[in-house]
Structure 1
Amino acid sequence: MSRTRIAVAASAAATAVVLAAAGCAPQPQSTTPGAAGSAKAADCTTGSPSLHKPGQLTVATDSPAYEPWFDSNTPSNGKGFESAVAYAVAGKLGFAKDQVKWVVEPFAHSYAPGAKSYDFDINQISITPQRAKAVDFSGSYYTASQAVLTLKDSKFADATSLSAFKGAKIGVQVATTSYQAVLDQLKPAQKPSVFNTTKDEVTALTNGQIDAIVTDLPTVFYLAGAELDNGKIVGQFGYAGGTPEEFGLLLPKNSGYTSCVDKALSALKADGTIARLTKQWLSASANVPELKQ
Structure 2
Amino acid sequence: MKAPKIPAKKATRKTRPPKRDVPCPKQNAGAATPSSPSAKPRHAPCVRPLALRHAVCIARAVTRLSVFPQLRFVPLLAAGLLAACAPRPGAESAPAGNASTPPTSARNVTFAVENGYVPFNFIRTDTRDAEGWDYDVAAELGRRLGFTPVFREIAWDSMIQGIATGQFDLAGNGITITDERARVVDFSDGYMTVNQRLLVRRDETRFTSLATFAASAAARVGAQKGNTNYTKAEKLVGPARVVAFDSFGELIQALLNRDLDAVLIDDVGGQGYVGTHREKLKLLEGGLPGQDLGFIFPKNSPLRPEINLALAAMRADGTLARINGKWFAPNFIPAGAPAH
Whether TM-score is above 0.5 comes out as yes
Structure-1 separation of matches of 2:130 and 2:288: 29
> Distance between the aligned counterparts of 2:240 and 2:168, measured in 1?
40
Q: Deviations over 1:67-97 (max 9, x none)?
A: 32235359x97842221111111122123xx
Question: Per the alignment, do residues 56 and 155 of structure 1 end up closer, same or farther by CA in structure 2, a change over 3 Å counting?
Answer: same
Deviation at 1:225, TM superposition (A): 3.3
Secondary structure of the structure 2 residue equivalent to 1:175: coil
Q: Distance in 1 between matches of 2:103 and 2:215?
A: 55
In 1: Cα distance, 2:170 partner to 2:272 partner: 25
| Paired amino acid for 1:270 | A
Q: 1:197 to 1:107 in 2, by over 3 A?
A: closer
Structure 2 residue matching 1:122: 3-state secondary structure: strand
Q: Is the 8 A contact 1:169 1:188 kept in 2?
A: no
Higher RCO structure (Cα 8 Å, ≥6 apart): 1
Report the TM-score, using the length of structure 1 for normalisation: 0.67
Residues 145 and 217, structure 1, Cα contact 8 Å, conserved in 2 = yes
Measure, in 1, the Cα distance between the counterparts of 2:222 and 2:158. Answer: 22
What's the counterpart of residue 153 of structure 2?
104
Map of 1:93 onto structure 2: 145
Going by fraction, where is helix more abundant, 1 or 2?
Answer: 2
Aligned to 1:72: 123
Q: How many residues align?
A: 227
Gaps of 5+ in 1: 1-44, 287-293
Identify the residue that residue 307 of structure 2 maps to in structure 1.
Answer: 261
Percent identical: 26
Q: Counterparts in 2 of 1:237-276, with a 5 A limit? A: 237-239=287-289, 244-276=290-322
1:181–1:223: structure 2 CA closer, same or farther, 3 Å change rule?
same
Residue 151 of structure 2 aligns to a residue whose secondary structure is strand
Q: Any residues of structure 2 matched to 1:151-190 within 5 Å, and which?
A: 151-156=201-206, 159-160=208-209, 162-167=211-216, 168-184=219-235, 186-187=236-237, 190=240
The AA in structure 2 aligned to 1:284 is P
Contact 2:199 2:284 in 1 (8 A): yes
> What's the offset of the Cα at 1:223?
2.5
* One-letter amino acid matched to 2:330: A
Change (3 A) 1:150 1:78: closer
Instruction: Return the offset for 1:102.
Output: 1.1
1 CA distance for matches of 2:313 and 2:226?
31
Structure 2: stretches of 5+ with no match in the other structure: 1-100, 333-340
Residue 135 (structure 2) pairs with residue 83 (structure 1): yes
* In 2: Cα distance, 1:189 partner to 1:258 partner: 36
Matched, 1:129 2:129: no
2:269 alignment partner, SS class: helix
In structure 2, the partner of 1:15 is none
In the alignment, what sits opposite 1:282? 328
TM-aligned CA deviation for residue 237 of structure 1: 0.8
Distance 1:285 1:166, change over 3 A: farther
- What RMSD in Å do the two structures reach over aligned CA positions? 3.0
C-alpha contact (below 8 Å) 1:57/1:119 kept by paired residues: yes
CA distance in structure 2 between the aligned counterparts of 1:275 and 1:124, rounded to whole angstroms: 16
Q: Which moved more, 1:228-237 or 1:215-224?
A: 228-237
Per the alignment, residue 218 of structure 1 pairs with 268
Query: Is it true that 1:57 corresponds to 2:109 in the alignment?
Result: yes
More off after superposition, 196-205 vs 86-95: 196-205
